[in-house]
């Protein structure tokens, strides 16, 4: 089960509609996973600045006075609260210090993701409620991915919801189950990667992060995943400028893609794509097993 959606915009005139289009796609997939939902939106970057998306189980307490508390710790930060999440904007070279300061002054806050462009919002509950509480339909951007979850490998929690982010401007959504995630987790921990959950999908995200940190681009990292990850999986991955899809060699998890001059779209089922503009003339196909598909705004592929 689980439902995945993704949208990579080629036509900049559609960017103000990204959040609305992606939200509608995800809501259509509700019956594939009613436990939790999440969306990552790649919006505008501001020179020299970075975003850190955080979540709190007690936002009234943790977010009250947070901006002032960060400034008291000599972090020039702005804080935009959205329900149980907040987006902290700081100088790009201060992201690491944000993590350490938060651990000291607000230990219950959890980081959902960080980077120049990405914002990640995820919670337990139905997609329609999740996207509404964070006002995702009003968000603009160049690309984004989303997930609605039916939990099989771990508890239903906010941290267990997708997308998983383990690197700057990188995130992953997953439908399937990995059989070698425990061994991979140990290898990645030895390489210095920290994990927030026991979810196998977080291991997949961390694997992609590690491969790209070693110099591979997204397409190369996904190709390596076909050799190194065991199990059933469909991954949709976002990076600062890119969007990628890969299915395992058996490809038993459903997937469909569509491409026009305006966008590339992914859905677990065609009905997730049916309301997109121009879908009636799109090239629609089922992604092949063990085949990597990726697009990049900086270097089209």
Per-residue pLDDT reduced to its tens digit, 186-208: 999 999 898 988 889 999 999 99
Q: What is the mean pLDDT of residues 154-163?
A: 81
Q: Classify domain 3-43+127-296 at the CATH topology level.
A: 3.60.20
Q: What is the mean pLDDT of residues 237-247?
A: 96
| Bond preceding residue 163 cis, omega within 30 of 0 | yes
Per-residue pLDDT reduced to its tens digit, 16-55: 999 999 999 999 999 998 899 999 999 999 999 999 999 9
The Cα 102–Cα 105 span in angstroms is 5
The CA-CA-CA angle for residues 125, 170, 164, to 5°, reads 30
The Cα 164–Cα 110 span in angstroms is 13
CB atoms within 10 A of CB 76: 11
CB atoms within 10 A of CB 65: 13
* pLDDT in the model for residue 154: 63
DSSP 150: -
Per-residue pLDDT reduced to its tens digit, 58-102: 999 999 999 999 999 999 999 999 999 999 999 999 999 999 999
Beta strand pairing call for 283-285 and 292-296: unpaired
Helices (H) and strands (E) in the chain, counts: 8, 16
The mean of the pLDDT values for the chain is: 94
Q: What is the mean pLDDT of residues 112-128?
A: 96
pLDDT higher than 80, residue 179: yes
Q: Which residues are catalytic?
A: 2
- Do 233 and 208 contact (CB within 8 A), yes or no? no
Burial 174-200 (b: 16+ CB within 10 A, else e): bbbebeebeebbeebeeeebeeebebb
* pLDDT in the model for residue 1: 79
The SS3 of residue 158 is coil
Non-local CB neighbours of 168 within 8 Å, separated by 6+ positions? 50, 95, 114, 115, 116, 240
Give the start-to-end residue ranges of the domains of the chain: 3-43+127-296, 45-116
pLDDT higher than 70, residue 153: no
Task: Identify the weakest region by mean pLDDT among 145-154, 191-200, 222-231, 256-265.
Answer: 145-154
Confidence of residue 149 (pLDDT cuts 50, 70, 90): confident
The SS3 of residue 118 is strand
Burial 261-299 (b: 16+ CB within 10 A, else e): ebbbbbbbbeebbeebeeeeebeeeebeeeebbbbbbee
Sheet arrangement for strand 3-9: 118-124, 36-42, 143-149, 3-9, 263-267, 256-259, 283-285
The Cα 242–Cα 236 span in angstroms is 11
Residue 162, both tokens: 């997708």
Q: What is the mean pLDDT of residues 251-262?
A: 96
Confidence of residue 160 (pLDDT cuts 50, 70, 90): confident
Residue 126, both tokens: 């139905």
- Helix, strand, coil share of the chain (percent; to 5): 30, 30, 35
Q: What is the mean pLDDT of residues 241-262?
A: 96
| CATH number assigned to the domain covering 45-116 | 3.30.70.370
């Amino acid at each position: 089960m689980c439902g995945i959606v993704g949208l990579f915009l080629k036509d900049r005139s559609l960017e103000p509609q990204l959040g609305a289009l992606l939200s509608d796609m995800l809501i259509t997939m509700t019956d594939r996973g009613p436990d939790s939902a999440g969306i990552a939106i790649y919006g505008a970057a501001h020179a020299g600045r970075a975003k850190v998306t955080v979540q709190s189980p007690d936002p009234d307490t943790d977010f009250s006075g947070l901006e002032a508390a960060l400034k008291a710790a000599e972090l020039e930060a702005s804080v935009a609260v959205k329900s149980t999440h907040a987006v902290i904007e700081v100088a790009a070279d201060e992201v690491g210090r944000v993590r350490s300061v938060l651990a000291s002054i607000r230990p219950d806050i959890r980081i959902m993701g960080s980077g120049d462009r990405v914002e990640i919002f995820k919670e337990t509950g139905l997609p329609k409620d999740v996207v509404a509480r964070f006002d995702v339909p009003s968000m603009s951007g160049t690309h984004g991915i989303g997930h609605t979850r039916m939990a099989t490998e771990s508890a239903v929690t906010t941290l267990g919801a997708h997308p998983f982010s383990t690197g700057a401007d990188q995130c992953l959504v997953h439908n399937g189950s990995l059989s070698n995630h425990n061994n991979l987790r140990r290898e990645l921990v030895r390489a210095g990667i920290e994990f927030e959950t026991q979810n196998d999908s977080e291991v997949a995200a961390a694997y992609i992060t590690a491969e790209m940190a070693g110099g591979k681009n997204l397409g190369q990292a996904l190709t390596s995943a076909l050799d190194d990850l065991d199990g059933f999986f469909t991954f949709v991955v976002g990076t600062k400028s890119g969007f990628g899809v890969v299915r395992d060699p058996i490809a038993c998890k459903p997937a469909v893609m569509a491409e026009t001059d305006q966008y590339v779209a992914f859905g677990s089922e065609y009905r997730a794509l049916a309301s997109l503009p121009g879908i009636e003339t799109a090239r629609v196909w089922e992604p092949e097993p063990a085949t990597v598909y990726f697009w990049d705004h900086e270097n089209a592929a």
